[in-house]
Chain A
């Protein structure tokens, strides 16, 4: 949580993302504007034009090119950044596999937005959750402070030699991207010290040490490389926790154990499980009127902290997930992931906030009621919907 002090500025989520990139001192940026992420691209261009950030900005003609350009740049052994949302992320889809398969420590900010049709520029999680199987680490933020802090941490996580995987830092479009609130801006020198100089581990452009990047891997070896990616993702759990602790020591802020944040769970009869900014509204509801409810905020969706969540939700009166997306023809993704780790726990499923439908305190209360009534265990309950 942000402590008000002289280091605090009142900024929106997009600015917090751009500021983190400046503090980390990224070398190459390629991005294509798309609502609600566009201001990130604008702020970064401004930083570069004003000499506040010494980075190469590659202008591209699409998101597919943006991610391709940062894959190429990252493979030469420099620190890179890109940002997108919605259709832009969908357009990047095939290259996301290449980024993780090449084990490139790319950091990408995503201002979460729904996908067409119908055309919609507002928030939900259908863009990033649809990319969950691309082997990118996914971290979801609740506040603008957390966006800034998480992007800084993301470089440490991605570049860690036990991990070497790309990281998506996800934050709700408009609800965070276009909302101003106080954010403590850490000292530049201390951030640089925290992230350290980027030392490429396995990939670099060096005439003294030529290498082949992106060769064919046939049926004789492809599976081995995929299993290695899975193992790196598993090791990332440890690293995410470690980086969260070190960040807390250095800057005085932490987010649960880095993967899961618990709020009022200790003696809670009911547990709400959710991701992103809606968790702030859940906390507000707990503070104002439901001290018997606790929140499990899933910060890391991949790697998924399923065992930890299963432990927390044991022996409660009721448990409910709030998904801001859906897997049509099946149960929603967050519910499915939770149930895979806690098959014996009765978990209710709700869907809320698609396409920017506001999730109000009364909608959170409605989700809790679904758990109280033991509904939604084999069919999701849609919250605040008219059909």
Chain B
């Protein structure tokens, strides 16, 4: 059975379907942010194409429910505070 409602033209009328679709499942590599190294420049926050880096109290936090592991944040970090780790190597 499909989750999709059979509307005319496959239009989705109820908002929020993107939020329900936890795309973080697609991830192969997980960005791990070392708060000690982070200098708070906010580059990762600005460059994440999925809006998964959020400013938090004392550092930046990554939303793993939607982060797809593209690695852009790690690439742009000037102090290498973000490391891309294989999901299966995470305990």
Contact = CB atoms under 8 A, between A and B. Distances in A.
Note whether A and B contact each other (Cβ less than 8 A). yes
A8 interface: no
B12 A211 contact: yes
Interface residues of B, number: 15
B2 to A, nearest CB: 4
B8 A228 contact: yes
Given A202-B9, A210-B15, A212-B11, 9 more contacts: A102-B10, A202-B11, A211-B12, A211-B13, A212-B15, A215-B10, A217-B4, A217-B10, A220-B4
Given A212-B17, A220-B2, A220-B4, A225 B12 contact: no
Interface string B23-67: 000000000000000000000000000000000000000000000
Contacts of A202: 7-9, 11
Interface of A: 101-104, 164, 201-203, 209-215, 217-218, 220-221, 224-225, 228
**Do most interface residues of chain B lie in helix, strand or loop, or is the interface mixed?**
loop
B1 interface: yes
29 contacts: A101-B9, A102-B9, A102-B10, A103-B8, A103-B9, A104-B9, A164-B8, A164-B9, A201-B8, A202-B7, A202-B8, A202-B11, A203-B9, A211-B12, A211-B15, A212-B11, A212-B12, A213-B11, A214-B10, A215-B10, A218-B2, A220-B1, A220-B2, A220-B3, A221-B4, A221-B10, A225-B6, A228-B6, A228-B8
B71 to A, nearest CB: 24
B12 to A, nearest CB: 4
B13 A101 contact: no
B23 to A, nearest CB: 12
Nearest to B7: A202
What are the 10 closest A-B residue pairs judged by CB atoms, nearest first? A103-B9, A221-B2, A212-B12, A220-B2, A202-B8, A221-B4, A102-B9, A210-B15, A103-B8, A211-B13
B6 A221 contact: yes
B2 A224 contact: yes
A215 B12 contact: yes
B11 A225 contact: no
Given A220-B1, A220-B2, A225 B10 contact: yes
Contacts of A213: 9, 11
Contact of B11 (A211, A220, A224, A228): A211
A101 B6 CA distance: 13
Nearest to A220: B2
Contacts of A201: 8
A211 B10 CA distance: 11
A203 B11 contact: yes
A212 B12 CA distance: 5
Nearest to A225: B10
A53 B67 CA distance: 50
A214 B2 CA distance: 16
Nearest to A209: B13
- Interface-central residue, B10, B13, B15, by most chain A CB under 10 Å: B10
Nearest to B6: A224
A32 to B, nearest CB: 25
B8 to A, nearest CB: 4
A224 B6 CA distance: 7
Contacts of A214: 10
Nearest to B17: A212
Contacts of A103: 8-9
Contacts of B13: 209, 211
A225 B12 CA distance: 13
